[in-house]
Amino acid sequence: MLGAASEQQNSDPPDRADVLAEIVLPDQEGNEVRLGDLWAVRPAALIWLRHYG
Amino acid sequence: MDGAQKKFEAAGANIVLIGQLTPRHAARFRSRQGIGLTVLADEERESYKAAGAKIATMSELIGPRVAAKGLLTSLKTGRAQTRTIGHPAQLGGAMVIAPDGTVVWSHMSDDAGDNAPPEEILEAVRSAAS
């Protein structure tokens, strides 16, 4: 139901963002953004929303 | 949220939001929330998986503890959750990443009402930038 997990999971954030760095996502205007570029020069805070609601 | 953006920029960091589904949904979210932050669209939830975000159980989505937290948040912010778009059980989180690729701080949600306090994220950013 609702795609919920049947068993409790643990969140598992990585120690390094190497895999995240190579991911490319479109922004709200459709421009492609490579995540690694966000912290190439200065730190970056990434916030994953549960939903857009 | 835009006030937060200024604080993050003053601390010397970039800040972006990542949501599920399409750029059109992201644009609508920005407009509805009245924010100028960049919102990235992750239809395949690739970055959620790479960040270690978890899929909630039913009790982590709609249990009494979660409902109570949601009510408190609504009272505090004056905003109520609207229709869920995307995977309903996908949880989010937050992460601060240093220029060398090290994840210097993270808070991935344990349930639907577990959100990282903005002050904690800002403190982690200040620490990473210093």
Collapsing DSSP to helix, strand or coil, B96 comes out as strand
* pLDDT computed for residue B62 by the predictor: 83
Q: pTM score, two decimals?
A: 0.86
Q: Is the pLDDT of residue B128 over 80?
A: yes
CA distance, residue B104 to nearest chain A CA (Å): 8
Q: Which two tokens stand for residue A36?
A: 């690694």
Contact (CB, 8 A) for B36 and B8:
no
Instruction: Select the more confidently predicted residue: A7 or A21.
Output: A21
Instruction: Select the more confidently predicted residue: B80 or A15.
Output: A15
* Residue of A4, A9, A46 with shortest CB distance to B58: A4
* pLDDT computed for residue A2 by the predictor: 73
Chain B, window 66-95: residues with a beta carbon less than 8 angstroms from a chain A beta carbon: 81-95
* pLDDT computed for residue B51 by the predictor: 97
> Is B113's Cβ below 8 Å from some Cβ in A?
no
CA–CA distance, B105 with B99 (Å, rounded to integer): 13
Instruction: Of B116, B110, B19, give the one whose Cα is nearest residue B60.
Output: B110
Cβ-Cβ contacts under 8 Å between A and B: the total is 208
* pLDDT computed for residue B72 by the predictor: 66
Contact A49 B96 (CB under 8 A): no
Averaged confidence pLDDT in chain B: 86
